[in-house]
Structure 1
């Protein structure tokens, strides 16, 4: 009989064993890493997306006529033969040149071949003698001739047919066919079959017979914007005419191969190429390269290569560089604010990841101590812990990255990959590094590390002083340079880290101060008769030193959330203030001359209207030195309006007459500086005069939109000057549509404050930055809650065992609940109060150096002046109160749940742990 030897016992792999032993912890780590990796990866992609959208909006707003690159060349050299000159302007030659130009410019500046154009046009319009053309002031219409390629591809035929060319068109051709747009045909009375004659030079006149009327497929596109007259004719004022007479200016469209017929006309034809940028291929993050590429095409090496390739003396013109410069300025102003949000939330997320690793190391402290005592090497234990966390963290980070790519599809991949990789690396290293530091020496017992008795190590003091120096430098830089100091400000990471550094320093200071009240209260509490209070205080003082990291996470998260909330509050306040200053009230009804008699009553009956204040505004009243708007108001109603709006408030008695013919007036600072307090005459628009004396100075007033005004009692004006010209409406949720219906037919205009405010967001850069800050506030609050939960869950088993032991000694369930609540309150109150004070101090300290105007308001519309941070009570107090409520709630729930369980089982579980 054969006896088989038993198989050797093979130890199970470390990673598989640990994952099976604690699947819940592995799943929680994977979820934390996946969410954090998603947020880290989606941020740069979101910034890229709204940056691209902002650039595209800027290009669309500027229009194709400002964003395209226009190239022009004069007629061929007169020394060439007539045949060579005619060949140089034909459509196929111009198309070949266009292909060369697109290829040369497209290497650095993305261009759209389909939207680009080429052709020949007359540079001087010709006076037309046809009597049926309209003559508004007796002046003949003037027309251009354009032979532009691609008419059939960019238009729809509405009448007749597209123009054709004879077999051969030369400079001597006297009859050709043409087309006009629907706008040109309607304004100039041109029909299919109309013939227009253009004078020739040393030849017979050129007759153009209209064979078709076309409608542009994309009227605002680049093809039709090369020359606006191609699409729509316009009335032009005769230069230097004292009577300001007008005449029509338009264009006829010719086939591209009919261009040789223009050579002998009096219109001085030129060759041109319109190069349209490919808007979808332009990216906001590529601004330096785009600006350099446009400069190279306009007057740099690319233009020189174009001249060499085409053998033409090309001239280039474009306003694209101005559009890009304006967009770059807005991006440079908004970029630092986004960096502040990114650094703040990123710091909180990193602290939470480190805290998760540290808590895991503390939870497994006994296991790791035993391994080291039994001969486990430090590299071996650390390597196994790294492999254990990497198996969970790396796939979770990849999942978060994939989710970010699916959420925001079109963006650069490099930054999102780097961000997700950094999250994975931090998650993998947190547990091994903490274990490496804690177990670098073999110990059987480490002793208690009570926070009330612990003394900071010298290395910790050095690190804190280093952070303090960085924080001071960042705050000084932020207050000195601000966040809108120019394009370079976006790259100053120290400035962007200023709020986070201030929060971290404050957290470290609070951590050092935290043991002091615990030590001071320990001895008096020992003399109390009850057992719950002294025991809870003793338990709080014996918390492990690792509680420093959760407190740091809470304070940093609360500071970041409050700072983000103050940014959002500052933006909202600036927009509200700007809309209020622009409208003057919740709504405004203006008349061209005088309001209809029954309009105030109709407006009062409109939904949401509470008060209506009628004013008479003379915009062109004359003082002895200048033109100044004068507002005639009812003192009582207008004074109430100023108090309601907060714009230049004053008492009704200020405008009360003093018994003389001189009227008291409220004036702007500029008017007051010019006239002082002496009486002076003002001539009203109706010819009447009043004498006023300035008695109050206010920066603004609701009736006049501007910084120069006088406000007087309307009853002292003449009947004609006192007629109301505007209504200032106040109320809750004023209905703009209802106001317009009430004012319909009276020659009036209606402006609503809410609508004005909504119009201030004119760029995706602004709305995108605002959304990023909103997400930062939400993420910061979420990480604060997560940090608190991690801390309380870590202490849950030990607390459950404590309650079980105390119940065996007679502690009631109500006393157990109070014990856990009181034990958790010191750190919760410290985090809440410290976070609130730190956030408030951070906002007040950094507010002078942070300019929110670029985020809040359009660059061309900033009536409220500079927008700064505002202390938002909601973002300050709500997260702090949530920390206290959540802490107390979890402690109460834990005490209730522990009271329902068997005490013997809890004691065994506590002993095992």
Structure 2
């Protein structure tokens, strides 16, 4: 190098050309010295980078899709909750009393008449919309404004319908937008010339809906007279010029007031006569006439919320804005823009509070599954990096021996990993954004970035730790020789303490932390799997070695070699075991969640209906209906019953009631007993209800044996009790106690044989048939008579999951179960691939010593099975133990039932399929992969495997 520098040095004063030549030489040497490491490695071994890129792509897709899917179903749930609620619960109702800002002299308002016309109301309507605090937005097409009476005003026309002798009453309103939200059924819309109507006007035009016209007997051209509460001796005549048909009556414009679309049948008191109450819609220009009729009049602005832009992320801000508009600074701003006596009323904050409570109860349950899948994915990425580091151990050791620095080796390995991991993570994130609806972009980017960072860092970190000191020979690293260090022992004890703390915290206070997510509690299943993996990793070589002792005495070396090698598994085998156990635990946990939800819905539907279908009547069922129902396609059995509610029971010794009532069920013992056994609700023997021949002392007739609920049995005791009601008088005694019965959802009950009841008549039918034809059943019941109700169990079950939160969470858990099983299979494959070169080389050496191909294949298969069996059995046991430990702390009621009122807590239920199926699949997959590997290795000759001098 000195000689080259001397040759390149400039001579004399000629420095230009020589200097340029020297620089070119140095640049050329520098370019040749820096070899294209990444490109060379990718060309030499493209398989591992491609596999790593595919793994990172799938993991980044899941990491990016999870927050988007959660945000998507929460957004849908928020919009669904607001849209499905009645408008009177979601609208913002702005009102200002007219009487508080003006007075009347001679029937004419002294000031503010112009404010009651559209020219005075519409600008304030626009100002109200503009003044509402963000993020509250308004649907102007469903919002309205006008003037209305606050109290009901009676009509004095005798020709109007009065079913019980009391004349109907009306609400006068000048609601805007009538033409845009209705179609004319008869006549024309009411009109009033601008400025022509005042408080002294005696006659105006008006309109009613078709339902109102039909109920009250009004036709187009009719004139109704409103009794005035302001002008004594005079009223207001309203000529009905049009009868309208509401368009989309379920939306806010019509549904904000119940009497707009159809009249209501009112009763002021229990003994007062009922009467009709309806709405008379006046033209907007007729607003000034309403204060001249009623002293309680108000201006109103009904603002329907726009749900198209609602997101779960903006829920706290939306709740704050609604509260501000009702009672805070928002109300002050609205008062200045609309009216100094403005009142803002809305129950939207209650709807939003319920949605927030639902999110807070479901999110911790979802986080448990998400933490489990995320941990398994991280472990599999660590395994992939470990596999790459193990396969390149000799290469990296040679580089270190030749003087390469740890920083330089780690930097080049980082570049190699980044070339495949970063684009794969970007593609996975892009696919999640495209395929999964949602607006949560930042969490998706963070999830994909974390996946890429972990995938890039594993290989260089593992290599730097393993080769921080150059080594000539590697010591044995199997579990038999490896002794846990003090640091590992401390780490394991720390993990044990964390696992115990997480389980105890979950059982005591549940998975939520003040409405949020407790990360430690959410990691409870993962920590349980981690502790199990650490224990199995320490213990499992011992039973294998014990099993190898009798195998050594048998003829043939295959069994002994397989058990001995399995017992000397490398210390790195703990990582695949950890991945398998956590993956199987996550799959079992997710399956138990889905099973608990399914069982809860099935049980709730059964309790609501009583059987696969139920037919009930207000009084009694028509004769022959039970026979007709039995002929319906798919019906296998019918259990008729008679129900008497709120019966007072009398003690025969005191002739006094205890103040509580029971429900008496008179049934056919044979069919009802079959139904009770099939549904599992109070199963009993039909002979229990058979009446004895005489009383206990042989004097007089015996009482009816009855099956009682615990509460009824406690009150009645063992004595004979008399039931004395109009048309029903009998004596009963408790023959058996059951906590539930099919015909009754809840409450105390007595079940007796209907054959002993005087004047027995069935009031209901409980129908059995898993595949019954609900349409034919309804047609049969409808043909039998009116006022009969049909309930079907499948329909009741479907109604229990009407929230997007429930369906979305179930989809997330299905994906979690599938992802956990997939990562378990991938962890198993990685562990097999990692040990493949050593196994193949061993088999080649043994074949040179005389081992046959058949024995070699058996050896590889038997060697792979112990770890797979251990992981499968341990995963199933750990999953079952995790479910039993965590079940008391997780309430699945909000996830299972759309209406949890009156329902008990829904707990995890161990699902045999989710426990055993993934475990069996692990064993089958391990055996299959080992079989394929053995078949491929025995196809090549031993010389081919050994000519490189060892494993490649």
After TM superposition, is the score higher than 0.5? yes
Match of 1:154 in 2: 181
SS in 2 for 1:212: strand
**What secondary structure sits across from 1:628 in the alignment?**
strand
Alignment coverage as a number of residue pairs: 904
Deviation at 1:695?
A: 2.6
Contact 2:61–2:448 at 8 Å: present in 1 too?
Answer: yes
CA drift at 1:350: 1.0
Q: CA deviation at 1:128?
A: 1.9
The correspondence for 2:576, drawn from 531, 534, 550, is 550
CA-CA distance at 1:108 after TM superposition: 4.0
1:597 to 623, 628, 638: 623
Larger deviation, residues 334-343 vs 901-910? 901-910
Show the 5 A alignment for 1:572-721: 572-624=598-650, 625=657, 626-658=660-692, 659-660=694-695, 661-683=702-724, 687-718=727-758, 720-721=759-760
Q: Please state whether the residue corresponding to 2:112 is helix, strand or coil.
A: helix
Deviation digits for residues 634-689 of structure 1 (CA, Å, limit 9, x no counterpart): 3344333322221112223322323322122111111112221111101356x131
Closer, same or farther in 2 for the Cα pair 1:272/1:24, shift >3 Å? Answer: same
Check 1:615–1:251 CA distance in 2 against 1; reply closer, same or farther (3 A cut): closer
- Alignment partner, residue 930 of structure 2: 891
2:69 partner SS: helix
Q: Distance in 1 between matches of 2:672 and 2:97?
A: 65
Q: Secondary structure at the match of 1:165?
A: coil
Quick one: which of 382, 398, 407 aligns to 1:379?
A: 407
Task: Tell me the residue number matched to 1:270.
Answer: 298
Larger radius of gyration: 2
TM-score w.r.t. structure 1 length? 0.94
Listed as ranges, the gaps of 5+ residues in structure 1 are none
Partner SS for 1:447: coil
2:51 to 8, 28, 39: 28
Match of 2:11 in 1: none
Pairs within 5 Å for 1:344-363: 344-363=372-391
Cα distance between partner residues in 1 of 2:545 and 2:751? 66
Q: 1:462 matched to which residue of 2?
A: 490
Aligned residue among 770, 774, 779 for 1:736 = 774
For 1:134, the equivalent position in structure 2 comes to 161
* Correspondence list, 1:57-456, <5 A: 57-75=80-98, 77-78=101-102, 82=109, 84-169=111-196, 170-200=198-228, 201-202=230-231, 205-237=235-267, 239-240=268-269, 242=271, 244-266=272-294, 268-456=296-484
- Which residue in 1 is equivalent to 2:9? none
The question of whether the paired residues in 1 share the 8 Å contact of 2:632 and 2:773 is answered with yes
Q: 5+ residue gaps in structure 2? A: 1-16, 651-656, 696-701
Does residue 589 of structure 2 align to residue 563 of structure 1? yes
- State the 4+ residue runs in structure 1 displaced beyond 6 angstroms: 4-7
Q: Distance in 2 between matches of 1:263 and 1:665?
A: 66
Tell me, yes or no, if the aligned pair for 1:507 and 1:555 is still in contact at 8 Å. yes
1:794 to 834, 837, 846: 834
SS in 2 for 1:737: helix
Q: Is the 8 A contact 1:141 1:248 kept in 2?
A: yes
Q: Separation in 2 of the partners of 1:355 and 1:28?
A: 13
Measure, in 2, the Cα distance between the counterparts of 1:678 and 1:153: 71
**1:518 Cα deviation (Å)?**
3.3
Match for residue 746 of structure 1 among 784, 803, 807: 784
CA distance in 2, matches of 1:61, 1:195: 38
Return 340-349 or 295-304, whichever deviates more.
Answer: 295-304
Write the distance in 2 (CA, Å) between the matches of 1:285 and 1:694: 57
* Cα 1:206/1:712, change in 2 over 3 Å: closer
CA shift for structure 1 position 558: 0.2
Q: What are the superposed Cα offsets for residues 698-724 of structure 1, whole Å, 9 maximum, x if unpaired?
A: 110113232210011222222x12x33
Structure 1 position 781, deviation (Å):
0.5
Distance in 2 (alpha carbons) for counterparts of 1:809 and 1:318: 88
Kept in 2, the 8 Å contact 1:159–1:212? The answer is yes
Distance in structure 2 (CA, Å) of the matches to 1:252 and 1:559: 65
SS at match of 1:235: strand
Deviations 1:37-71 (A, max 9, x none): 11111111111111122222222232111111111
| Of 614-623 and 661-670, the range deviating more from structure 2 | 614-623
Which segment drifts farther, 610-619 or 674-683? 610-619
Aligned counterparts of 1:676 and 1:354: Cα–Cα separation in 2: 67
| Alpha-carbon distance in structure 1 between the residues aligned to 2:388 and 2:536 | 25
Judge conservation of contact 1:617–1:704 (CA < 8 Å) in 2: no
SS in 2 for 1:649: coil
Q: CA deviation at 1:122?
A: 1.3
More displaced 10-residue stretch of structure 1: 703-712 or 513-522 = 513-522
1:879 corresponding residue in structure 2: 918
Contact between 1:610 and 1:730, CA under 8 Å: does it hold in 2? yes
Q: Partners in 1 of 2:939 and 2:381 — Cα distance?
A: 33
* CA pair 193-567 structure 1, distance change in 2 beyond 3 A: same
Structure 1 residue 874: deviation in Å? 0.7
Moved more, 883-892 or 727-736: 727-736
CA distance in 2, matches of 1:812, 1:862: 70
> How do residues 851-890 of structure 1 correspond to structure 2 at under 5 angstroms?
851-860=891-900, 862=902, 865-890=904-929
Shift of residue 115 of structure 1? Answer: 2.5
Given that 2:60 and 2:452 are in contact with CA atoms closer than 8 Å, whether structure 1 keeps it comes out as: yes
In structure 2, relative to structure 1, the CA distance for the partners of 1:371 and 1:706 (3 Å cut) is: same
